[in-house]
Amino acid sequence: MNDIRPIRAKSGTNQEGTSAHNRRVMIEALRLNGALSRADLARATQLTKQAVSNIIEDLERDGLVVGLDTVRKGRGQPSTPYRLVPEGAFAIGLQIDRHLTRAVAVDLVGSVLARAEANLPFDEPSKGVEVILGLVDGVRRELAGISAQSEGHLVGLGVAMPGPFGLKNSDDKWMMPAWQKFPLLETLAAGTGLNVGLQNDAAACATAERMVGAAHGVDHAVCLYVGYGIGAGLILNGELYSGGNGNAGEIGMALLSPAGPGSTPLEHRASLASLYQHLSLDPADERLYERIGAMAAAEDPTIMAWIDGAAHDLRWSVHLIETIFDPQTVILTSGAPEALARRLVEGMHPLLTSIADRPGRNLPRLQLGTTDPWSIAIGAAAAPISRAFDPLFSAILKTRSTGF
């Protein structure tokens, strides 16, 4: 009887000079599948047993993996399974929105260990950054209380905020213009001493879904993020695609009719900002999340009217995403309450016919993903972990380029 279980992993390469890529492949295989033996890893990654042994030994020395108790299956040789050490690396994620900021600390496998939030002064980044640095400092102290070695294993600070970034018309109120013009990354790097990276909030949600959510182990997925604005996080060939200027997936700016008088961007009609306007609610209201959740759960007529219109426009966006990117699935994510997000998904059905409408699918065309208001901060924290440890074509290219 063949009891070999399928293992999700990318292929490594046995060519000389590609150890950085192979380390990443090994770490990802352990993250996706849990504990695996050296034989399992060799079979899944198509690396030689010797290459796997060498990498496992390196990862053990670096404190990233640990061997478990030896197990024996049938008449074969006993094997030792290996698993990731969560405390092998940490990262901090920061969400910056119009009225608030959230910070979280995660470990190598994406578990949240510390979190904190605070209000931000609207459109005053010079004051707001002081609040942010205090928040990050508090999270770091809390993390140090959990793991005494955390400071030495911090791989970076990930920042997520609404995009798009660097456009000519940066005075658009949807783009947080004052923050766009502020030297944010330089100020945060100087204030924390960490490597700092930036992504838009939709990409951060996709990063979170890839690490611990519905996109875990999926090579081709698009996360449609419904927040204050609307964006799409693109996971293509197992990697987050950010585009040439970090603005890939800004689907909220797509027009719902040809450009000209009367043309309206998608996010002006189907985002949470449009909902707040529809309900005459203050986005800075601290009880906003609970109020919207209660209204959606009770099927309040005023919120259901907005859901009907928003679902109609979002249905079109799924058709557009499927036609352009041909993903295995589209995942709707949101910082809104689950009751509201679920009503949106239900209202988007039936989906428009597209190239994705085919028999034999393993995943639904559209599914509900994370509806946690902390998901952006979690995704921001996952980004430095991903840059440091996930398989990337750039890891191979960088290694090879040193040989020329």
The CATH number covering residue 121 comes to 3.30.420.40
Q: How far apart are CA 385 and CA 55, in angstroms?
A: 19
Q: How many distinct structural domains can be found in the chain? A: 3
Contacts of residues 282-287 at CB distance under 8 Å and 24 or more positions apart, as own/partner, are: 283/98, 283/99, 283/228, 284/99, 284/119, 284/122
Residue 403 is assigned to a structural domain of this protein = no
pLDDT band with cut points at 50, 70 and 90 for residue 274: very high
Shared domain for 171 and 248, answered yes or no, is no
If asked whether residues 228 and 332 sit together in one domain, one would say yes
- Same domain, yes or no, for 224 and 194? no
pTM of the model: 0.86
Q: Is the pLDDT of residue 400 over 90?
A: no
pLDDT surpassing 70 at residue 300: yes
Same domain for 243 and 143:
no
328 plus 219 within the same structural domain = yes
Say which CATH number the domain at 31 has: 1.10.10.10
Residues 73 and 122 in one domain: no
Report the mean per-residue pLDDT for the chain.
88
Report helix, strand or coil for 51: helix
Task: Say what the pLDDT of residue 70 is.
Answer: 86
Please indicate, yes or no, whether residues 228 and 357 belong to a single structural domain of this protein.
Answer: yes
What ranges in 34-85 are assigned the alpha helix state H?
A: 38-45, 49-61
Same domain? For 291 and 349 the reply is yes
Residues 146 and 222 both lie in one domain: no
Tell me if 395 is assigned to some domain.
no
DSSP structure class, residue 79 = B
Q: Over 80: is that where the pLDDT of 44 sits?
A: yes
User: Is residue 355 located within the same domain as residue 232?
Assistant: yes
- Bridge partners, residue 236, by sequence: 239
Q: Are residues 233 and 339 in the same domain?
A: yes
Model confidence at 171: pLDDT above 70: no
- State whether 219 and 365 are in the same domain: yes
The CB density around residue 154, as the number of other CB atoms within 10 Å, is 21
Range of the domain at 353: 214-369
Q: Is 397 within a domain?
A: no
3-17, 121-135, 157-171, 295-309: range with lowest mean pLDDT = 3-17
- Per-residue pLDDT tens over the stretch 10-34: 665 555 447 788 898 999 899 888 9
